[in-house]
A and B are shown apart, each in its own frame.
Chain A
Amino acid sequence: MSQHDAIWFSLPPRATALPEAPPAPPRATVTVTVDGASVDVPEGATLLDACRAAGKDVPTLCYLETLTPVNACRVCVVEVAGARVLAPACSRKAEAGMQVQTNSPRVRTSRKVVLELLASSVDLSTADELTPLLAEYGADPGRFGAAAATVAQPVKDDNDLYVRDYSKCVLCYKCVEACGTDAQNTFAIAVAGRGFHAHISTELDVPLPESACVYCGNCIAVCPTGALMAKPEFTLRQAGQWAPERQTAVDTICPYCGVGCTLTAHVQDDRIVKVTSPFENGVTRGNLCVKGRFGFEYVNEPEAGD
């Protein structure tokens, strides 16, 4: 075997993650107590990190590993001994000696009420992460009465690629962050208005085609409630044909350019119905561009392959 053969035939498998950085020097740790159990976490870690290290999961809604925490939803609150109010686990840094309770009566009450406030004002019918929590915390959104104000409004269906149903928006800010400095740097949407009237909006709420939107769909990827949804999924759901139990997820590489983003094709009945990218992927961190996320329809056209 020649030297060239060795080079040609021993290529490593195509990477879907960035090569790992050399190990960092060991960081100082801080010790905190989570529900009575002592746990060491690196300096700078959050209480959420500490809770997870201690095996105590804390529910989150507006938190995502790839985005800057905005701590707006308050679902992840925990009780820190000596503090006047509860702390958002997702963003509060762990400090040495902190005594954290993840499931105290105060914590449970706050989480329950927060879930009730959301469920009584927002359509959570496609918020699959959230609905199990309602039962877990005994939330009774109906107790505010049938006349409780909601954010119900008509669906915004103003372009070919995705649909915005802000009746389902919990205002977690994730889409704004993904459109802004956390991923896309397009700044097509922001939070507008104030208080209960705060909402996600383009400038003057103009339709997306008249805005700065580049249709990367990274907002859809981070939306936890289905308020933002790609058109094929929306259409199938409208027709009652969306069937996650019949879907398989297939990882592949985007065919369009040399970046080589990992795509996860969600296939139902031999048709691609949605494309995502894994959040833990080192190349994309869950983000794609308009081609990768939406440019799959040709695969579903029979003449393309035949």
Chain B
Amino acid sequence: MDIHVVGPEANADERAAVDALLGAPSTGWDGGDRDIARDGRSSRGGRPAAIAQRHLLLPAFHAVQDRVGWVSRGAMNYICQRLIVPPAEAWGVLTFYHLFATGPRAAAVVHVCDDIACRARGAESLCASLAEALGPEGTAPDGRGTTWMRSPCLGQCERAPAALVVRAGAPASRAVVAPVSGTDALTRALEASSGHLTESLAELRAIVPQAGQPGLTLLRRVGLVDPASLEAYRAAGGYTALARALELGPAGIIAEVTAAKLMGRGGAAFPTGVKWAAVAAEPAEPHYVVCNADESEPGTFKDRVLMAGDPFAIIEAMTICGIATRSTRGFLYVRGEYPDAEVRIAQAAAAARAAGLLGDDVCGSGYAFDLEIRRGAGAYICGEETALFNSLEGKRGEPRSKPPFPSQAGVFGKPTVVNNVETLANVLPILTEGAAAWAATGTASSTGTRLFCVSGHVTRPGLYELPFGVTLGEVLTRAGGVAGGRDLQAILLGGAAGMFVGPESLDLRLTFEDTRAAGLTLGSGVVMVFDDTTDLADVLGRIAQFFEDESCGQCVPCRVGTVRQRELLAQLRADAGVTARAERLAILAELGQAMRDASICGLGQTASSAVESAVARLQVFRSGSAL
């Protein structure tokens, strides 16, 4: 490949950060000192060599960002030489991901969530006090070493408002502060953190109000069993599912998962057994397992809790999936805003590997499976499976056109099974209990239990595990009802890509079939509650801003449509004229239809769902509505 690297070179810190990841360069051709006698006069490289290393681009950017706090042109040039990536392409990747800084920035950054759940819990006043204490967003006046930035949903909705505190250095530190009691708490977190902070069992129990109660399946260990201890996991029933899987063999595992009628929990509700069988049957080699832990749907935090609270379960389930689908290698792609979950999963993977539960010969079974953890870098779109593949490959997280589907051509163009964290977690009880017993919970078409991420104006926000078929009202009651005894105005069901419902929907049974019949979706299990004091038009504005910020920009309906949607909503809020409103609502409806029909991926196709549902079901912006 013809690479033309011009401009500055990396400084010592930047080189050290990259070399710590990739090892020292072996020749002058890939960034080391030139030595004609050793290197010769012809470059190694070409497209095969380039393709072989490209997937390390994001890890290399992370290494520099963690060490220095931003990625300079010199650092990028060095990475380009090491990985044989053209600088223009590397720049395209670097500027796609919002957690990477492309200019000098204070070493310490407070990422403040100002998304819908945190907004309902005082995020704006937190931003105001940070502006007072640290100066305007993104600046570090007087050479101060700390700055703050607004962030989309950090996935800490049950303990809003939340912030992610990051300090570059060797080692870097990343920690979540939630709920944020004030700017002092953030300052203390910045000073105290010398590494990644993980949660105690008591903190985990605070997130899961049902912790310790009977009847839990997915959450039965969270907050009770030490997530850092393989022995504790085994003592609490861990790795019995893998033992059962090895008895069953690949075909037997897939038969069980299919018989259980397990449906994907990430939002699309695709039958997991069908997916696994399709990958297992593909003749192309190798096969890959990808665990989609890029949980970024506003209002969603279930996968974070599973990974932080029961990480070995996810490792065990990925191993079983690998055996079932003839995959020897897996990737767990965790969003960059989840330091706690990432640390726990990494600890668990290392412990499992040391115990022979990952590797060339899993438990002496003859099956090989191992996994790598990859960190996202601030891009909601990478939760879309094909965008996630591109991100794993070191590219911009732009979704691909389907077909071909991941089971035919996924990551690196190979057959890939991609499952959400919660979906994988369900595989363990399916194998240990047997498909029939497991599927006895829930309804005939929606089997098992579901995790509900309850946040907003409720008395006890948190993660709830309830059987499919529970009503929306029962979920609200479990969470103690609307906080402060206020009246319910609306519930956002399924996430920002989901829909708003009003109090009349409290009898809705939460199953795939009931929500589909009602024109709704369970999405990622979000139940976000808004009381009667909420300005829903403001919430819609934030949702529209979210989709505009997170659109990858590839296709026209989404790239420009999300901007127009946000503009139209602002016009609707500003203009009280009934005729003007009706006109704009008509444009909004037609825009929504085009985005739904003509966008490449689910982001654009659902970017208007919440807005349209609020207009249709809650009469927002209709004359005489609650404005």
Interface residues of A (CB under 8 A from B): 70-75, 77, 85-86, 88, 91-93, 106, 109-110, 112-114, 117-118, 120-121, 143-145, 147-149, 170-171, 185-198, 201-204, 206, 210-212
Contact = CB atoms under 8 A, between A and B. Distances in A.
25 contacts: A72-B555, A72-B556, A74-B555, A74-B556, A74-B598, A75-B556, A85-B596, A85-B598, A86-B598, A106-B597, A109-B594, A113-B598, A144-B568, A145-B571, A190-B86, A193-B95, A194-B551, A195-B548, A195-B549, A195-B551, A195-B559, A196-B553, A210-B6, A211-B6, A212-B88
Interface in B494-514: none
Contacts of B563: 121, 148-149, 196
At the interface, is chain B mostly helix, strand, loop or mixed? Answer: helix
B599 A74 contact: yes
B259 interface: no
Given A70-B554, A149-B567, A212-B2, 20 more contacts: A74-B555, A74-B598, A85-B596, A85-B597, A85-B599, A92-B403, A117-B560, A120-B560, A121-B563, A145-B571, A170-B556, A185-B2, A191-B396, A195-B551, A195-B562, A196-B553, A198-B553, A201-B88, A212-B4, A212-B86
B1 A204 contact: no
A110 B553 contact: no
A194 B98 contact: yes
B557 A110 contact: yes
Contacts of B552: 194-195, 198
B87 interface: yes
Contacts of B591: 113
Interface of B: 1-4, 6-7, 73, 76, 86-92, 95-96, 98, 102, 379, 396, 401, 403, 548-557, 559-564, 567-568, 571, 587, 590-591, 593-594, 596-600, 605
A187 B2 contact: yes
A191 B92 contact: yes
A65 to B, nearest CB: 18
Contacts of B560: 117-118, 120-121, 196
A189 B3 CA distance: 12
Given A196-B548, A196-B553, A190 B598 contact: no
Contacts of A211: 4, 6, 88
A84 to B, nearest CB: 8
Given A148-B564, A196-B551, A187 B597 contact: no
Nearest to A144: B564
A45 to B, nearest CB: 15
Contacts of B3: 187, 212
A189 B86 CA distance: 9
A193 B396 CA distance: 9
**Most A-side CB within 10 Å, residue of B4, B95, B556, B568:** B556
B6 A190 contact: no
Contact of A192 (B92, B555, B557): B92
A203 B564 contact: no
Nearest to B89: A190
A77 B559 CA distance: 16
A144 B587 contact: yes
Nearest to A151: B560
Nearest to B87: A203
Given A74-B556, A86-B597, A113 B561 contact: yes
A195 B550 contact: yes
**Most B-side CB within 10 Å, residue of A71, A144, A196:** A196
A69 B7 CA distance: 33
Contacts of A203: 7, 73, 76, 87-88, 90-91
A188 B88 contact: yes
A2 B332 CA distance: 77
A208 to B, nearest CB: 11
Contacts of A118: 556, 560
Nearest to A197: B553
A201 B92 contact: yes
B567 A144 contact: yes
A190 B556 contact: no
A200 to B, nearest CB: 9
Contacts of A206: 7
A114 B88 contact: no
**Most A-side CB within 10 Å, residue of B3, B4, B92:** B92
Contacts of A143: 587
